[in-house]
Structure 1
Amino acid sequence: MTQHTRSGQVDRLPSALDGRGRAVVIGAGLGGLASAMRLGAKGWQVTVVDRLDRPGGRGSSITQGGHRFDLGPTIVTVPQTLRELWAVCGRDFDRDVRLVPMDPYYRILWQDGSSFTMGPGDARMEAEVARLSPGDLPGFRRFLKDAEARYWFGFEDLGRRSMHRLVDLIKVLPKFAWYRADRSVHAHAARRVKDERLRFALSFHPLFIGGDPFHVTSMYALVSHLERAFGVHYAMGGVQAIAEAMAAVVRDQGGFVVQGVEADEVLVAGGRASGVKLADGRVLAADVVVSNADPGTTYTRLLRKQPVKRWTAPRLMRSRWSMSLFVWYFGTRGTREMWPEVGHHSIVVGPRYRAHIRDIFQTGKLSEDMSLYVHRPSVTDPSVAPEGDDTFYVLSPVPHLGHDNGVDWAQEAEPYRQKMLKVLEERLLPGLTGRVTESLVFTPETFRDRYLSPHGAGFSLEPRILQSAWFRPHNVSEELPGLYLAGAGTHPGAGVPGVIGTAEVLASLVPDAPVAARASVRMAAE
């Protein structure tokens, strides 16, 4: 099997059957590629296999009619995680990828016509808060202090080390209690500000890593500090450009990134992972196996022939999974100068936010109303669309496929898209209907089939407190020695910084490659 990369390079599966000094990574998502980079830096010869046609996983893209549609994540909030990853590999991230700071970050629009614009600068943000709800300014300042404290504990401490031992959880329980991790992020925002619109602005972020803001831990208030301290950035060329740069680093290390190849089974010998069997029957022997597949897929499919004690199929079925997503990607003709007030990111809030969230996460009901995240990258990156045109990505959170009253998306997809079009016409993009030229829709069934995501969940397991840290599938598998996990479903969790962080934690658990293997990898790279 060979795969032509966009640069014209061809990767072939390594023919050697000896697994010594070799690592296989299943999945070329950002977590898998970051893991491959870190293992390569530790001397392992790494082979990454992925069933899609290009690297990036959910961060890849599809080009249609001259429009490049970025399929998943659209922003970078903590650039230093990527710079640190590149530095570990002896590389300079900023030489490979160009990040552009967003200003503003995003604009939130409510049903009553009010809006809130988030952007850089404390004075500017305080003025925006004072404009919306002047009495909430002291509470807003206090919330930001809370967010910073949770950042240092939740991101820089817990997020950078493994939580696979129960004793590690026990040690941090007092801090969890101190920070009231049992309280939801929305409830915490409600204790600081009174205006419901500000409560939304300070607590909606978990939705974009798969969490219900009314139930996920208040530790996620740290996202407000991430935005304040590091800004919000866009990678020119989209997140796809980051993924391709990661794949290039792996190859420069002497590794392989092979697309269009599906892993079928993690092999076991002597009580530990010994390699990966591909869907076509070929075997890649390895000392180390990393799964960037969803933990549900890893334990129920890739380890289907092995005894599993903790992450059994019944337990995974009982777990709370993140919501899914309905995403409409579309291109428009001659609109680059239209809608001048519509920037790179907009959030259109529906009329019954709390009830809508309940429908998505608890009842599994497909609501008549919707809240939308609108991505218009063409205002920043002209390469995404033909000259004078626009490329859009509009996302609506919807129930995953595991509810008893599951949605028949074969019947509902087009009516739902039409409802989305109506909302966009009325509240953000007047005159849109006659301008659409290209259209592509992802439903929960697409997430299930394209990414092998259980229940078509958008972000794996929901990041509730009892599904985080030690309670989440571990970076080092407790089921099989030699198997490690990366990606949204393991610690520290979803989102670009979290997924990149899973590779950092994983690498701290994998030993350096044998000396002889490191020498052979150096020769291959040269």
Structure 2
Amino acid sequence: MLTPDALRPAKTAPETPKDQTGAKAIVVGAGLGGLAAAMRLGAKGYSVTVIDRLDLPGGRGSSISQGGHRFDLGPTIVTVPHLLRELWAFCGRDFDADVDLRPVDPFYKITWPDGSTYTARQGTEAMRAEVSRLSPGDLAGYDKFLQDSEARYWFGFENLGRRPMHQLWELIKVLPRFALFRADRSTYAHASSRLKDERLRFALSFHPLFIGGDPFHVTSMYNLVSHLEKEFGVHYAMGGVQAIAKAMAKVIEDQGGTLMLGTEVDEVVVANGRAAGVRLLEGEVLPADVVVSNADAGHTYDRLLRNQPRKRWTTNKLKRTRWSMSLFVWYFGTKGTAGMWPDAGHHTIVCGPRYKGLLNDIFMTGKLADDMSLYVHRPSVIDPSVAPAGDDTFYALSPVPHLGHDNGVDWQVEAEKYRLKVQKMLEERMMPGLGDRISESLVFTPEDFRDRYLSPLGSGFSIEPRILQSAWFRPHNVSEELPGLYLVGAGTHPGAGLPSVVTSAEVLGKLVPDAPGGGRRSAAPMERKLAAE
């Protein structure tokens, strides 16, 4: 197993592969977008150094181990596995040889206060039966919604999402399609146009919350997620998303790249009007021909380029930007509970009494509401590595306001009070006796997102994906402020979420030329294998 120590830079530089050139690339941040970018740059012939202030690769996809439990801190599922397989193939590698990815069925269960439930599965007929069970009159509308979702997937994800959007013309020429798809509608408004049952409207519109968006304000293009789930399924990586991050790090090292963990970048260095490397917090300067930032776009421009003139992403512009909500996450372990609480499956969404009102509190007024809705993750039902034998590992996630509201929450005072509310809701809804079984506990508040991930306002997913903060309107993958600087990750195009941050590196690969005299290495055989399959 790859350990944190094994990932630290060696005292002597690794041997450079024969087909690498002297061209150097630095990637700031070892989140999944940064790791994917490093893999692609390594395959294009660059000598790559990835720098991250954490002690493990993965960023929000990293983990913390405590008392025999491994708490996966961020993303828990893989929804478009072919993106990862294509990334590995680009590097001449086989993803499935490096990562044990398993389909999950059912995907998740949604429970409401009245006891009704909705179980999401991959099969169309299984889902039609589920819709008919809840609201027979909505079946025809559901079929239309699936057609809408597929059309939005091909246009919004496979078309727009997988190509650069830094030129205004790229936006202008697709505006008619946006109008055709009623992109001005929200995900909730579009679901409501097809379905009458409020539970189904929730089930088919809540997905933007997983990328930091308010379903009542985010464009209906994100209704594409329903097709994405149905077409490709929901998967879990054994060892968690951390295992994917470690496998990515191993590919980078095999390419001759270096990971510098526990190291923070203070500033992008500029020479002759171009990004020329980075300065570390300790003062050391590392030169590079290409600099890629996987740090939050806000941090990139407001901190890493603080000494450079900025025309678009100024401090005032960033202050006016709408940021995603933040998260309160309670990670906890339980003793002797294997087989208990059958209603707590691998993925469960426990709805509170309000939908629109709660989101208005979170996104608009910044109020920490008394009620909540929770996403509960129980990986120990499939992955024995996350907990001691006979025990369980959980996390319960509640969307909460970010730190930028005028009536900001004092989390030093409220954190434990809020955790107890989460515990009470879990005990009442699906895990009776939870309090007597807790063996380990760890809490992340918005302040932890701010301090651990350098996320502006402690936002969970960077810039909120509203229609005027998406595509060309988002910080570009090729920096508007500094030649030679590129951006990947949640804050740039195409946005947040594991598929999108991996895709941001694919877009990067189309913008950065092959290293001079280098070029791609041994990618073709694996790509031919994937094409044949």
TM class, shorter-length: over 0.9
Q: CA RMSD in A?
A: 1.4
Match of 2:284 in 1: 282
Shift, 1:353, TM fit:
1.3
Would the aligned equivalents of 1:44 and 1:518 in 2 still touch at CA under 8 Å?
no
Within 1, Cα distance between the matches of 2:62 and 2:281?
Answer: 22
Change (3 A) 1:311 1:13: farther
Matches within 5 A, 1:291-440: 291-440=293-442
> In the alignment, which of 94, 101, 104 is matched to residue 102 of structure 1?
104
Would the aligned equivalents of 1:272 and 1:482 in 2 still touch at CA under 8 Å?
yes
> In the alignment, which of 176, 179, 193 is matched to residue 178 of structure 2?
176
Match of 1:12 in 2: 10
Would the aligned equivalents of 1:45 and 1:517 in 2 still touch at CA under 8 Å?
no
Within 1, Cα distance between the matches of 2:10 and 2:492?
Answer: 29
Match of 2:227 in 1: 225
Aligned-partner residue type, residue 393 of structure 2 = T
Within 2, Cα distance between the matches of 1:425 and 1:517?
Answer: 57
Would the aligned equivalents of 1:210 and 1:323 in 2 still touch at CA under 8 Å?
yes
Within 2, Cα distance between the matches of 1:54 and 1:247?
Answer: 10
Structure 2 regions of 5+ residues with no counterpart?
Answer: 15-20, 522-533
Would the aligned equivalents of 2:22 and 2:46 in 1 still touch at CA under 8 Å?
no
Within 2, Cα distance between the matches of 1:402 and 1:8?
Answer: 38
Shift, 1:5, TM fit:
3.5
Within 2, Cα distance between the matches of 1:423 and 1:341?
Answer: 14
Within 1, Cα distance between the matches of 2:88 and 2:455?
Answer: 29
Q: Secondary structure at the match of 1:277?
A: strand
Would the aligned equivalents of 1:332 and 1:438 in 2 still touch at CA under 8 Å?
yes
Q: Secondary structure at the match of 2:173?
A: helix
Match status 1:442 vs 2:444: yes
Matches within 5 A, 1:5-154: 5-6=3-4, 8=6, 10-12=8-10, 21-154=23-156
Q: Secondary structure at the match of 1:251?
A: helix
Matches within 5 A, 1:213-252: 213-252=215-254
Within 2, Cα distance between the matches of 1:221 and 1:516?
Answer: 41
Matches within 5 A, 1:244-283: 244-283=246-285
Shift, 1:340, TM fit:
1.9
Would the aligned equivalents of 1:32 and 1:291 in 2 still touch at CA under 8 Å?
yes
Would the aligned equivalents of 1:13 and 1:47 in 2 still touch at CA under 8 Å?
no
Shift, 1:270, TM fit:
0.5
Q: Secondary structure at the match of 2:110?
A: strand
Match of 1:457 in 2: 459
Q: Secondary structure at the match of 1:203?
A: coil
Would the aligned equivalents of 1:29 and 1:58 in 2 still touch at CA under 8 Å?
yes
Shift, 1:516, TM fit:
6.2
Aligned-partner residue type, residue 511 of structure 1 = P
Q: Secondary structure at the match of 1:258?
A: strand
Q: Secondary structure at the match of 1:157?
A: helix
Q: Secondary structure at the match of 1:274?
A: strand
Map Cα deviations across residues 289-334 of structure 1 (whole Å, 9 max, x no partner): 0000001000000001100110001110111000000000000000
TM-score of the two chains, using structure 2 as the length reference? 0.95
Shift, 1:257, TM fit:
1.0
Match of 2:469 in 1: 467
Within 2, Cα distance between the matches of 1:342 and 1:274?
Answer: 51
Change (3 A) 1:282 1:214: same
Match of 1:490 in 2: 492
Aligned-partner residue type, residue 89 of structure 2 = A
Map Cα deviations across residues 133-158 of structure 1 (whole Å, 9 max, x no partner): 00000000110000000000000000
Change (3 A) 1:10 1:365: closer
Aligned-partner residue type, residue 319 of structure 2 = M
Shift, 1:428, TM fit:
1.4
Within 2, Cα distance between the matches of 1:108 and 1:441?
Answer: 24
Aligned length: 514
Within 1, Cα distance between the matches of 2:518 and 2:204?
Answer: 52
Would the aligned equivalents of 1:346 and 1:373 in 2 still touch at CA under 8 Å?
yes
Aligned-partner residue type, residue 233 of structure 1 = H
Q: Secondary structure at the match of 1:215?
A: coil
Match of 1:158 in 2: 160
Within 2, Cα distance between the matches of 1:320 and 1:246?
Answer: 32
Within 2, Cα distance between the matches of 1:340 and 1:459?
Answer: 31
Within 2, Cα distance between the matches of 1:179 and 1:503?
Answer: 27
Match of 1:504 in 2: 506
Within 1, Cα distance between the matches of 2:335 and 2:320?
Answer: 46
Would the aligned equivalents of 1:13 and 1:258 in 2 still touch at CA under 8 Å?
no
Would the aligned equivalents of 1:23 and 1:290 in 2 still touch at CA under 8 Å?
yes
Map Cα deviations across residues 231-257 of structure 1 (whole Å, 9 max, x no partner): 000000000000000000001111001
Would the aligned equivalents of 2:204 and 2:223 in 1 still touch at CA under 8 Å?
yes
Change (3 A) 1:396 1:516: closer
Shift, 1:120, TM fit:
1.8
Within 1, Cα distance between the matches of 2:134 and 2:151?
Answer: 26
Change (3 A) 1:260 1:9: closer
Q: Secondary structure at the match of 1:474?
A: coil
Shift, 1:10, TM fit:
4.5
Match of 2:525 in 1: none
Q: Secondary structure at the match of 2:109?
A: strand
Within 2, Cα distance between the matches of 1:9 and 1:136?
Answer: 52
Aligned-partner residue type, residue 261 of structure 2 = Q
Within 2, Cα distance between the matches of 1:127 and 1:88?
Answer: 40
Within 1, Cα distance between the matches of 2:13 and 2:96?
Answer: 34
Within 2, Cα distance between the matches of 1:85 and 1:170?
Answer: 30
Shift, 1:7, TM fit:
7.5
Within 2, Cα distance between the matches of 1:305 and 1:517?
Answer: 34
TM-score of the two chains, using structure 1 as the length reference? 0.96
Within 2, Cα distance between the matches of 1:106 and 1:346?
Answer: 5
Map Cα deviations across residues 456-483 of structure 1 (whole Å, 9 max, x no partner): 0000000000000000000000100000
Match status 1:192 vs 2:190: no
Aligned-partner residue type, residue 475 of structure 2 = P
Shift, 1:342, TM fit:
2.0
